[in-house]
Amino acid sequence: MHDTLRLIHSRRSIRTFSDRPVSDDTLLTLKEATLRAPTAGNMALYSIIEVKDQSKKERLALLCDDQPMIAKAPVVWVFLADMQKWVNYFEESGAVKRAQAAGLAAFRSPGLGDIHLCLQDAIIAAQNAVIAAEALGLGSCYIGDVIENFEDLSDLLCLKRFTIPAAMLILGYPKQTASVKQSPRCPVDSIFMTDGYEELHLDALEQAYHEHESSRRKVGSLPYGNEGTLADYYYLRKHSSAFMEEMNRSTAVMFERWVNG
Amino acid sequence: MHDTLRLIHSRRSIRTFSDRPVSDDTLLTLKEATLRAPTAGNMALYSIIEVKDQSKKERLALLCDDQPMIAKAPVVWVFLADMQKWVNYFEESGAVKRAQAAGLAAFRSPGLGDIHLCLQDAIIAAQNAVIAAEALGLGSCYIGDVIENFEDLSDLLCLKRFTIPAAMLILGYPKQTASVKQSPRCPVDSIFMTDGYEELHLDALEQAYHEHESSRRKVGSLPYGNEGTLADYYYLRKHSSAFMEEMNRSTAVMFERWVNG
């Protein structure tokens, strides 16, 4: 089984893909593996939209912080946290009315706890897909920007009240097979803590992200010239960016619609 | 690489564990594999608390809907969505002040979008851990109930404002190696949709959960005697349960503290 550990260690995110199409057979194998992900109470609190229509892919690429690689990817999957199907099932099957008639339960409209649980289900399935894809020779990349522009995304993908984007993957055969150096990771002891949260402060954080900073300096992309640090880089490029502002606005809207309609 | 697909297909959630301890070497291998999970912008927006202290495990078991299996599990990991470390890094490194002085950005307090992105990171890492554990012969089970009783959990694990539970795993060597029938899954075409959300209604839902209902009927755990359906079962046992109410209350509190302090 150490093949699987090797695979986990050699995986890296792939953003450009070869022209080789992903066959229907391979896609089906990938889908079947994806579905074997664990799910809360075995309810499958998620759905996956495969975006195939080229004009929709282009629109989606625009909505996700204008990243053309999305429109070029052979396979585009949007993972939804999905409580809508269960709301439908409970109401249309008569389960709600039976419970009321028997005095067992009043209807409970899904709230933030349902969102959390459904997000878990959907994201667990997404990472199951990433590993299964890797085993099939397919590369993948998460698109965090799927949580931006919720209103437009909702229109584009015909989302219903109790469905929200949880994660997004682009997939395909990697363009380059030549090994590319992998992204650094934090040391184990900066991520894993024992028995309680251990708040990290400056020295520990600089150590935790030491390798990140080294590799960032090599590509020369720090702000303030050579005076900048990794913290400056992430603060300016990520934390205080327009797309991060938009993620916050958009997520507030999607949660609000779910909870209050 | 088809070993990995077989592993994904044979995985099932393990709730009881043998007495065989998980060695430090194996745990380290598991931790290193877990960290190779993809993470947004390579920021590692998560932390993992390993709960080892037996009295804390017992308290945690109580807080997670009173499930003694948690206290008995050899390894207990709580995955946190963690923006706290980056807030500390930005402030303590002077990145916030430098950006303000240069007129580049005002401080943005993390909001719901950060929660969503951090949850993605943490849950992606959790499922990476599940697969890596499986490769090492370890079984695992998610504990969805970690999102209940947030105030008490926060005290128990010394959580800070920008840290919230994202997922939880119990791990160990499976008690029974005898093959146990796996849980059913929905058919591929009830989970995967093309180009837009396809709302499922009663007939389609009954088909989607047909195998779930068959296996449920065999163990005779439907409500209303034989008159009950799978929808009744899930409506009463899950959707309108006290623990689901608590998940909703608790998640609202954890999101509120993150956003408004």
For A122-162, how does the pLDDT look when each residue is reduced to its tens digit (9 = 90+)? 999 999 999 999 999 999 999 999 999 999 999 999 999 99
d(CA A51, CA A60): 9
Distances (CA, A) of B20 to A143, B11, B74, B173, B174: 40, 20, 9, 7, 9
What pLDDT does B256 receive? 98
pLDDT at A189 over 90: yes
Adjacent-strand bridge partners of A140: A171
So where are chain B's domains?
A: 1-182, 184-261
What percentage of chain A exceeds 90 in pLDDT? 89
Best mutation target among A6, A27, A85, A117 (most B Cβ atoms within 10 Å) is A85
3-state helix, strand, coil in chain A (%, to 5): 55, 10, 35
CB contact under 8 Å between B37 and A127, yes or no, is: yes
What pLDDT does A71 receive? 98
What pLDDT does A176 receive? 73
CB contact under 8 Å between B205 and A231, yes or no, is: no
What pLDDT does A223 receive? 75
Nearest one of B74, B77, B58, B76 to B21, comparing CA atoms: B74
Tokens 């500390």, residue located: B88
CB contacts of B191 in chain A (<8 Å) are 31, 35, 44, 46-48
What pLDDT does B57 receive? 98
pLDDT at B181 over 80: no
Residue type, B176: Q
**Beta-carbon count within 10 A of B157 CB:** 22
Query: Is the CB of residue A210 less than 8 Å away from at least one CB of chain B?
Result: no
pLDDT tens column, B21-62: 999 999 999 999 999 999 999 999 999 999 999 999 999 999
d(CA A124, CA B125): 9
What percentage of chain A exceeds 70 in pLDDT? 97
Query: Is the CB of residue A188 less than 8 Å away from at least one CB of chain B?
Result: yes
Q: What is the mean pLDDT of residues A39-49?
A: 97
Adjacent-strand bridge partners of B192: A48
Q: What is the mean pLDDT of residues A6-19?
A: 95
d(CA B19, CA B73): 9
Of residues A177 and A139, more confidence is placed in A139
3-state helix, strand, coil in chain B (%, to 5): 55, 10, 35
What percentage of chain B exceeds 90 in pLDDT? 89
Element (H, E) at B168: strand B163-172
Q: What is the mean pLDDT of residues B204-230?
A: 83
CATH topology of domain B1-182: NADH Oxidase (3.40.109)
What pLDDT does A182 receive? 85
Name the average pLDDT for chain A.
Answer: 95
What pLDDT does A218 receive? 74
Residue of A4, A186, A188 lying closest to B3 (CB–CB):
A4
pLDDT band at A220 (very low <50, low <70, confident <90, very high): low
Least trusted range by pLDDT, from A163-167, A246-250, B185-189, B211-215? B211-215
Angle at A199 between CA A198 and CA A200, to 5 degrees: 110
Nearest CA in chain B to A256: B112
pLDDT band at B174 (very low <50, low <70, confident <90, very high): very high
pLDDT band at A177 (very low <50, low <70, confident <90, very high): low
pLDDT at B87 over 80: yes
What pLDDT does A213 receive? 87
Of residues B121 and A214, more confidence is placed in B121
Query: Is the CB of residue B253 less than 8 Å away from at least one CB of chain A?
Result: no
Residue of A40, A239, A245 lying closest to B86 (CB–CB):
A239
What pLDDT does A179 receive? 63
**pTM higher than 0.95:** yes
CB contact under 8 Å between A236 and B105, yes or no, is: yes
**Beta-carbon count within 10 A of A205 CB:** 21
Residues 73-132 of A with CB under 8 A from B: 80, 84-86, 88-90, 92-96, 98-99, 102, 104-108, 111-117, 119-120, 123-124, 126-128, 130-132
d(CA A212, CA B42): 8
Structure tokens at B9: 């297909």
Go through A21-54 and write b for each residue having 16 or more CB atoms within 10 A of its CB, e for each that does not: ebeeebbebbbbbbbbbbbbbbbbbbbbbbbeee
pLDDT tens column, A50-99: 999 999 999 999 999 999 999 999 999 999 999 999 999 999 999 999 99
What pLDDT does A169 receive? 98
CB contacts of B158 in chain A (<8 Å) are 196-197
Nearest CA in chain B to A227: B98
Distances (CA, A) of A252 to A111, A148, A256: 13, 10, 6
pLDDT band at B19 (very low <50, low <70, confident <90, very high): very high
Of residues B78 and B221, more confidence is placed in B78
Tokens 């396979």, residue located: A75
d(CA B160, CA B167): 17
Nearest one of A40, A125, A128 to B143, comparing CA atoms: A40
Distance of CA A245 to the CA centre of its chain: 18
What pLDDT does B115 receive? 98
CB contact under 8 Å between A131 and B8, yes or no, is: yes
Residue type, B228: G
pLDDT band at A110 (very low <50, low <70, confident <90, very high): very high
pLDDT tens column, B119-157: 999 999 999 999 999 999 999 999 999 999 999 999 999
User: Which ranges in B1-111 belong to alpha helices (H)?
Assistant: 2-10, 24-34, 54-63, 68-72, 84-92, 95-101
What pLDDT does B227 receive? 72
pLDDT at A1 over 80: no
Structure tokens at B234: 């899930």
Query: Is the CB of residue B153 less than 8 Å away from at least one CB of chain A?
Result: no
CB contact under 8 Å between B42 and A130, yes or no, is: no
pLDDT tens column, A227-253: 788 999 999 999 999 999 999 999 999
Query: Where does chain A show beta strands of DSSP type E?
Result: 46-50, 75-82, 139-142, 163-172, 192-194
* Overall size of chain A counted in residues: 261
Distances (CA, A) of B172 to A42, A123, B10: 21, 23, 17
What pLDDT does B79 receive? 99
